[in-house]
Structure 1
Amino acid sequence: MPVIVQALKDASYQDQQDLQKIYRDAPEWLFAPFSGEAELIESALADGALIAGRFNDRLLSAGILQRHRDVWYLSHLCVRKVTRRRGVAERLVNQAQKMASQAGAELRLLAPAGHLEAQALAAKLCVPLEVPAT
């Protein structure tokens, strides 16, 4: 599946609809510190921190990519439910890792402690996993 990963600067109406579909099925723990999907999407777009995976002009996955000088953090990673288990999250993480490396930074995943999905993805891709500060 040729998923194109891109930083989302200007979200079209269709992109906004796709983002809502991506996060609609997300577990509640994924939204912290946001109150829900709408606030997460709005905040990430306003900050220019949203990264997304696109296939056939539709968004399938998204996450928040915080860029710092030496370390970039990928958090709130979610794949649309009907597309899960097809390597879309892996593609997004690998591309974010490449972007970070090109900027001279290291990529780390951020997820609350105890979430096996995040731990498994980090282990599979050999990406450090950190627990966000509360």
Structure 2
Amino acid sequence: MPIIVQALNAADSRDREDLEKIYRDAPPWLFAPFSGALQLTEEALADGTLIAGRFNDRLLGAARLRPQGNVWYLSHLCVRKVTRRRGVAERLVNEARKMASQAGARLRLQAPAGHLEAQALAAKLHLPLDVLPL
């Protein structure tokens, strides 16, 4: 069964548990400008910018996707530690790219300045990387 990428505007208790697991092992820099995973997920759910990858009814990865005119920004991308290196992040990025393209926009990755992990991901997925404003 493939990973289904969907926008999350609401999360039940199981989804919230999965989101907690997704961001539990994230490096602290990933949450900027938010205070942590809870603030990130609550605000992204509230403003409709949270997307997630679901497999067998469980969330495996999540990111924030923010449309801004003809550019859409993907940030705060994280995959559960136990499911990393299985294509979940790539699937999230590809679906975000497709959603942006269908809206006539380009996709760009955003991360705080100076993090090699974000630079490596952007290079691997052939995405421009912008500094996330704090």
TM-score normalized by structure 1? 0.96
Helix, strand or coil at the partner of 1:53 = strand
Structure-2 residue corresponding to 1:42: 42
* C-alpha separation in 2, matches of 1:49 and 1:9: 8
Partner Cα separation in structure 2 for residue 9 and residue 42 of structure 1: 10
Matched with 2:127 is: 127
Matched with 1:53 is 53
Q: CA deviation at 1:133?
A: 2.3
TM-score (norm 2): 0.96
Aligned-pair CA distance for 1:131: 0.6
Amino acid at match of 2:8: L
User: Any residues of structure 2 matched to 1:24-43 within 5 Å, and which?
Assistant: 24-43=24-43
Structure 2 equivalent of residue 23 of structure 1: 23
Q: Over aligned residue pairs, what C-alpha RMSD do you find?
A: 1.0
Matched letter for residue 95 of structure 1: E
2:85 partner SS: coil
Q: How does 1:57-68 map to 2 (within 5 A)?
A: 57-68=57-68
Question: 1:77-98: per-residue Cα shift (whole Å, max 9, x none)?
Answer: 0000101111110110010000
How many Å apart are 1:112 and its aligned residue?
1.4
Comparing 123-132 with 112-121, greater Cα deviation is found at: 112-121
How many residue pairs get aligned? The number is 134
Displacement, 1:75? Answer: 0.4
Does the residue aligned with 2:112 lie in a helix, a strand or coil?
coil
For structure 2, the residue ranges without an aligned partner over 5 or more in a row are: none
**Secondary structure of 1:97's match?**
helix
Task: Output aligned runs, 1:61-100, within 5 Å.
Answer: 61-100=61-100
Give the counterpart letter for 1:8 in structure 2. L
Determine the C-alpha separation between the residues in 1 that align with 2:88 and 2:2.
Answer: 9
Alignment partner, residue 2 of structure 1: 2
Q: Which runs of 5+ in 1 are unaligned?
A: none
Give distance in 1, aligned partners of 2:130 and 2:15.
Answer: 29
Residue-by-residue CA offset, 1:34-79 (whole Å, 9 max, x unaligned): 1111111111100110000000000000011111120000000000
How far apart are the structure 2 equivalents of 1:100 and 1:60? 22
